Amino acid sequence: MSLSTIYTRAQSGINALPVTVEAHLSGGLPTMSIVGLADTEVKESRERVRAALINSRYEFPARRITINLAPADLPKGGGRFDLSIAIGILAASGQLPDNELHQYEFLGELALGGDLRPVSGVLPAAIRARNDGRTLVVPEANATEAALVSGINLLAANHLLEVCAHLCKQQLLPAFASDIQAQVKQQPEDLSEVRGQPHAKRALEIAAAGGHSLLFIGPPGTGKTMLASRLPGILPPMTEQEALETAAIQSISMHGFNQLSWQQRPFRSPHHTASGVALVGGGSQPRPGEISLAHHGVLFLDELPEFDRKVLEVLREPIESGVITISRAARQAEFPARFQLVAAMNPCPCGYHGHASGRCHCSAEQVQRYRARISGPLLDRVDMHVDVPSQPLSQLQPADGSTETSHDVQVRVIHARDRQLERSGKPNAQLGNRELDDVCQLDSECRALLEESIHRLGLSARAYHRIQRLARTIADLANSQSVTSSHLCEAISYRRLDRQAGTGIYPENRTSNGNRNVINP
């Protein structure tokens, strides 16, 4: 036959959409044309495929060759179609049998000598190929990544000749299997390394248990960054589905998938000079940004007021929706962004407002202007605003062994998270208002306390529901079936900036060791 059909995948955001490569040979002047909304790099595959076939001792047909990449309205880019185009030409010219090609999908870029080079976005393609029941053929360098998908039929090759020998039944490629679990993984930093700060550690545990967002406020050097970096170590282990989603986003990113990060919660900490596009993603060919790379992990924004205000505003919708849609004139892409936001800031421009040393000379107007760099709607979406005060020297001495490790805290977090998943199938931070009414039913005393707090602090309806979600998480950590007034009071105490808005700038009520008392509003 002078017509062959090969299957492959195109990358569109996080999705791997099916593409049918049709190769047709006809009479006329020797030429090769590629149609089907192909980008420049795809059209350049004509020269790569021609050289690879000749150098592999195959005949490049001296006929009119038409390559159609269907569907015609789907944009196609990159060198991922080289291998499928080469197989299509060989099958259409009768140099390869085509009776079993419908069982395979091919991905890979060809070198001029016929070697197979790795491509990006293999993991999403592997998931879809498994679901469609086809065998995926990829370059050897991509095989470990594709093998993360359980139940996939996977073949890996280093050269075009190996693929052709397999299709001709001359030398079959062995099914690829990789034990990525046996590889040495990076160990997260331990919470026991943070000296003092019991109140901030308690807030971190609550945030981990319910998936809540968190803002640390304190002078320089009090451990805000250390605390944030320990959050991945106390989060529940990733499920296989979460790990695949996270790895798929890494696979289509600029840096690709890192095998050492498999089943580890991502921790992304962009610099405060990052642009809005770097944070949420974009480009002429949309790529994931920091919020998508932090999917099922932690996005840490240090020195929060130093970020451009317009950059921070783009976080408002993804924080609640868990997805980000990048729209361009020619294409649109949707990326998941279910991240846990942790931020840190100083209390004033110099950083020492309220410090025991009295080093701060910032006026109330300067403090207010500094804090106003963060918009009210964004702060309203942050569940917890927590003080991280300076610690006395006695708290900074080496631990005596009684300090809790990340593992100790993680055990409690896992138990609390399991209760949430069993009850509603999701962490408390993701509960809708109707679901919240079912799982957080308040008695008359708690409802009166909450209503009085909302009235006195001038909180929004969003903050009203976020306090309830936070109280439900605190009750889960205490293994309590119902939310009590003590759980509600602790939840309200974590709205530091809201209390300031209702009672003036930076009111404090501290114990002798610098920790804030939990007071009923």
The secondary structure of 363-410, three-state, reads CHHHHHHHHCCCCHHHHHCCCEEEECCCCCHHHHCCCCCCCCCHHHHH
Residues 481 and 428 in one domain: yes
Residues 90 and 195 in one domain: no
CA-to-CA distance for 167 and 161, rounded, in angstroms?
10
Burial of residue 469 (CB within 10 Å: 0-12, 13-18, 19+) is: buried
Residues 407 and 486 in one domain: yes
Q: Which of 51, 54, 50 is nearest to 33 (CA)?
A: 50
pTM of the predicted structure, to 2 decimals: 0.87
CB-facing half-sphere around the CA of 137: CA atoms within 13 A: 31
pLDDT at position 275 is 93
Residue 474 three-state SS: helix
For residue 142 the two structure tokens come to: 């991509």
Domain of 284, CATH number, reads 3.40.50.300
Residues 170 and 197 in one domain: no
Number of structural domains found in the chain: 2
Domain stops at, among 178, 210, 239: 178
pLDDT at position 261 is 85
Residues 162 and 301 in one domain: no
Residues 352 and 408 in one domain: yes
Q: Show Cβ contacts of residue 67 under 8 Å, excluding neighbours closer than 6 positions.
A: 21, 22, 23, 24, 32, 33, 34, 35, 36, 85, 88, 89
pLDDT at position 49 is 97
Domain stops at, among 130, 152, 178: 178
Residues 144 and 235 in one domain: no
pLDDT at position 182 is 52
CA distances 168 to 94, 97, 134, 438, 518, Å, are 11, 7, 18, 62, 74
Domain-embedded: residue 520: no
> Phi and psi for 157 in degrees, rounded to 5?
-140, 155
CA-to-CA distance for 435 and 6, rounded, in angstroms?
48
Q: For 30-144, where are the E strands, in sequence order? A: 31-35, 64-70, 104-106, 109-110, 116-117, 135-139
Residues 376 and 436 in one domain: yes
Q: Are 410 and 235 in contact (CB under 8 A)?
A: yes
DSSP-assigned letter for residue 482:
S
Residues 323 and 465 in one domain: yes
Residues 349 and 495 in one domain: yes
Please name the residue that has the structure tokens 């990048």.
326
Residues 174 and 299 in one domain: no
Domain-embedded: residue 249: yes
Give the Cα-Cα-Cα angle 442, 445, 451 (nearest 5 degrees).
80
- How many C-beta neighbours within 10 Å does residue 362 have? 17
Please name the residue that has the structure tokens 């991509």.
142
Domain-embedded: residue 185: no
Domain-embedded: residue 437: yes
Domain-embedded: residue 99: yes
Beta strand pairing call for 109-110 and 214-217: unpaired
pLDDT at position 505 is 35
Q: Show Cβ contacts of residue 400 under 8 Å, excluding neighbours closer than 6 positions.
A: none
Domain stops at, among 178, 202, 234: 178
Domain-embedded: residue 147: yes
**Can you give the pLDDT of all 521 residues of the chain as single tens digits?**
599 999 999 998 889 999 999 999 999 899 999 999 999 999 999 999 999 999 999 999 999 999 999 999 898 999 999 999 999 999 999 999 999 999 999 999 999 999 999 999 999 999 999 999 999 999 999 999 999 998 999 999 999 999 999 999 999 999 998 766 555 566 778 898 888 889 999 999 999 999 999 999 999 988 999 999 999 999 999 999 999 999 999 999 888 888 888 889 999 999 999 999 999 998 777 889 999 999 999 999 999 999 999 999 999 999 999 999 888 776 788 899 999 999 999 999 998 887 777 788 899 899 989 988 999 899 999 999 999 988 877 777 766 666 789 999 999 999 999 999 999 999 999 999 899 989 998 999 999 999 998 888 888 888 899 999 999 999 999 999 999 999 999 999 998 776 555 443 333 433 334 444 343 33
Domain-embedded: residue 516: no
CA-to-CA distance for 85 and 76, rounded, in angstroms?
13
Q: Which of 37, 12, 31, 157 is nearest to 89 (CA)?
A: 31
* 114: containing domain: 3-178
Domain-embedded: residue 508: no
Domain of 83, CATH number, reads 3.30.230.10
Burial of residue 43 (CB within 10 Å: 0-12, 13-18, 19+) is: middle
End-to-end CA distance of the chain: 81
Residue 255 three-state SS: coil
Residues 153 and 295 in one domain: no
